[in-house]
């Protein structure tokens, strides 16, 4: 097992935002791995669910979800559901890796838990409950790469809805969570929860003492007890906090500010395609209780040379097959991925033209969303149209 290096997730809440809650994540994954964007409508089933490695019990009804996920994997790196819940996860390195806490054993992947939380949780708190209950029952683990069986880790999560957010950090089957109701928060590849803990797994402190990780003296500090680094010092975590402070200073943070943070190369929050762990996909969501939530996806690597395209849940939503990996080979690139890769190699004006299209889309959608009524049918093919326009640009 090697030290993971991937992903940054952010959330900004009122009073720092222009509208509602703004969520963003860069998914940094092994080089060459393709990330697809897929839409799954609401469903009802009594059959067990085959996750990436194991089967679990059915939930009955599931929410409609849109996911950004490695093509080969059942689970998702990030996504949203029809109720306005969004989730992203991070790899974390902990000192609790034996027996039922061993991340190399095939159990539920952190990415499986992301998808399960979205499919089964109607609020951020409900999604937190889904994830923690399944974590305690089944544990987490298994290879997180299609090509590297030793790439395994524990996970942290950022879960948000239009009113609140939760940071959930885990070590094996144990966990701690902090609720965020205002301001901003970010997570990277280090534990960040210290002594302020709003919810936790039963017997957490007793387990830590039984393993010799805590002497029982003083205030219990989740990060200090379970992290190999002993403090939340990940460089990208620190840089992300500084970027959030800078971009929220006007108290009018919006999706374009999150685009800028996720495109920041200096901090290595944005990683180019030739990195060992490039940013393979990116998501930004604006979550609101009074207007439709909007979810923006690149569906292509390196957001600094990609464009964000919007999706809104509507009664008959459909998306383009150009962001879906072929069924006969789920490790193969989808159409948009291939065309984008060729365009990056060639260079030229296409990226600046597409960036102008993105800016126009942001402005036009802002005007429409602000005045739309209950009928959301005009958004049924929103993401599909934007993807197919991008494909035409590349061809």
Give percent of the chain above pLDDT 90.
Answer: 90
Q: Are strands 165-171 and 184-187 parallel, antiparallel or unpaired?
A: unpaired
**What letter does residue 129 receive in the DSSP assignment?**
H
Convert the pLDDT of each residue in 209-228 to its tens digit: 999 999 999 999 999 999 97
The Cα–Cα gap between 35 and 29 comes to 9
| Active-site residue identified among 7, 83, 270, 325 | 7
pLDDT at 95: 94
CB under 8 Å to 156, separation ≥6 — which residues?
A: 89, 90, 92, 167, 168, 169, 170, 187, 191, 192
Q: Which domains does the chain have, with CATH numbers?
A: 8-394 (3.60.60.10)
Nearest alpha carbon to residue 294 among 171, 377, 218, 379: 379
CB under 8 Å to 349, separation ≥6 — which residues?
A: none
Backbone angles phi, psi at 92, to 5 degrees: -130, 150
**What letter does residue 183 receive in the DSSP assignment?**
S
pLDDT at 120: 98
Rounded to 10 degrees, the C-alpha dihedral 32/33/37/41 comes to: 160
pTM (2 decimals)?
Answer: 0.97
Convert the pLDDT of each residue in 296-322 to its tens digit: 999 999 999 999 999 999 999 999 999
Convert the pLDDT of each residue in 319-373 to its tens digit: 999 999 999 999 999 999 999 999 998 887 888 899 999 999 999 999 999 999 9
pLDDT at 6: 74
When pLDDT is cut at 50, 70 and 90, the band that residue 1 belongs to is very low
pLDDT at 2: 46
51 is catalytic: no
The mean pLDDT value for 181-208 works out to: 96
Nearest alpha carbon to residue 156 among 213, 104, 94: 94
pLDDT at 228: 73
């Amino acid at each position: 097992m090697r030290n993971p290096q991937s992903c940054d997730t952010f959330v900004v809440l009122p009073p720092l935002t222009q509208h509602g809650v703004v969520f963003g994540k860069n998914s940094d994954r092994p080089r060459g791995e393709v990330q697809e964007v897929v839409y799954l409508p609401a469903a009802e089933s009594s059959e067990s669910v085959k996750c990436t490695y194991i089967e679990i019990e059915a939930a009955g009804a599931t929410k409609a979800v849109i996911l950004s996920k490695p093509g080969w994997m059942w689970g998702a790196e990030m996504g949203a559901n029809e109720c306005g819940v969004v989730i992203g996860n991070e790899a974390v390195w902990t000192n609790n890796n034996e027996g039922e806490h061993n991340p190399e054993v095939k159990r539920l992947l952190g990415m499986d838990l992301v998808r399960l939380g979205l499919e089964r949780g109607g609020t951020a708190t409900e999604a937190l409950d889904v994830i923690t209950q399944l974590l305690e029952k089944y544990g987490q683990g298994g290879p997180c790469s299609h090509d590297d069986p030793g790439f395994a880790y524990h996970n942290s999560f950022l879960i948000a809805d239009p009113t609140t957010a939760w940071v959930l950090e885990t070590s094996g089957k144990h966990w701690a969570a902090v609720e965020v109701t205002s301001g901003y928060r970010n997570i990277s590849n280090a534990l960040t929860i210290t002594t302020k803990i709003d919810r936790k797994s039963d017997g957490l402190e007793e387990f830590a003492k039984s393993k010799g990780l805590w002497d029982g003296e003083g205030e219990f500090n989740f990060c200090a007890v379970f992290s190999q680094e002993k403090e939340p010092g990940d460089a990208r975590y620190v840089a992300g906090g500084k970027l959030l402070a800078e971009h929220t200073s006007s108290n009018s943070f919006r999706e374009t500010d999150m685009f800028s943070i996720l495109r920041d190369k200096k901090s290595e929050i944005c990683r180019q395609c030739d990195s060992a762990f490039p940013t393979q996909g990116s998501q930004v969501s604006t979550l609101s209780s009074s207007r439709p939530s909007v979810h923006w996806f690149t569906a292509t690597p390196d957001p600094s040379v990609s464009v964000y395209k919007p999706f809104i849940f509507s009664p008959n939503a459909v998306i383009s097959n150009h962001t879906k990996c072929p069924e006969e080979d789920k490790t193969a690139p989808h159409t948009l991925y291939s065309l984008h890769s060729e365009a990056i190699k060639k260079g030229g004006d296409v990226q600046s033209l597409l960036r102008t299209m993105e800016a126009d889309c942001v402005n036009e959608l802002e005007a429409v969303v602000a005045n739309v009524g209950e009928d959301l049918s005009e958004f049924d093919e929103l993401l599909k149209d934007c993807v197919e326009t991008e494909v035409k640009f590349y061809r």
